C-alpha cells in the first residue's frame, strides 16, 4: 500500500510548493469593515488569471471599487467594497473561471 494513498493524515510533500493555505476551492468571504460597510474578498483563484483585468470587470459590473492584495500565504486576493458574494460566484461560473462546486461562500 502506498503511504499517501487513502491516508488523510499522511504528510504531503507538495504543501511547501503551493503554500500552507492552498486548496482547490475558491473562497469568497464578506468581512465587516464598520457598522454598515463590508469588504468582499476572493481568494484561491488560478494564478494564471489576469487579476487586474478581472478586477476591472468586477468594478464595472458591480459599480464598486476594489484592489488586488498580495498575501504571502494566500497569494493574490481580490478585495471589493461592499457585499458582492453571490454576484461574484455567479460571474465566475458564468465566465467558466470556476465550477460551482469549487466555490465556497463564507459569512452571513
Give the count of domains, the chain: 1
How does pLDDT run across 67-91, given as a tens digit for each residue? 999 999 889 999 999 999 999 999 9
Cα separation, 107 vs 80, in Å, equals: 15
How does pLDDT run across 17-35, given as a tens digit for each residue? 444 444 689 999 999 998 8
Cα separation, 39 vs 36, in Å, equals: 11
Confirm whether 9 is domain-assigned: no
Confirm whether 62 is domain-assigned: yes
Confirm whether 16 is domain-assigned: no
Whichever domain contains 42, its CATH number is: 3.30.780.10
**Among candidate residues 26, 36, 35, the one with its CA nearest the CA of residue 76:** 26
Cα separation, 85 vs 42, in Å, equals: 9
pLDDT over 60 at 54, yes or no: yes
Amino acid at each position: 500500500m502506498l503511504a499517501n494513498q487513502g491516508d488523510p493524515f499522511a504528510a504531503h510533500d507538495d504543501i511547501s510548493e503551493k503554500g500552507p493555505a492552498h486548496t482547490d476551492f475558491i473562497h469568497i468571504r464578506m468581512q465587516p469593515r464598520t457598522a454598515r460597510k463590508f469588504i468582499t474578498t476572493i481568494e484561491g483563484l488560478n494564478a494564471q488569471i489576469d487579476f487586474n483585468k478581472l478586477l476591472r470587470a468586477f468594478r464595472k459590473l458591480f459599480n464598486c471599487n476594489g484592489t488586488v492584495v498580495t498575501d504571502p500565504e494566500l497569494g493574490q486576493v481580490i478585495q471589493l467594497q461592499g457585499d458582492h458574494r453571490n454576484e461574484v460566484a455567479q460571474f465566475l461560473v458564468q465566465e467558466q473561471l470556476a465550477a460551482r462546486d469549487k466555490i465556497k461562500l463564507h459569512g452571513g
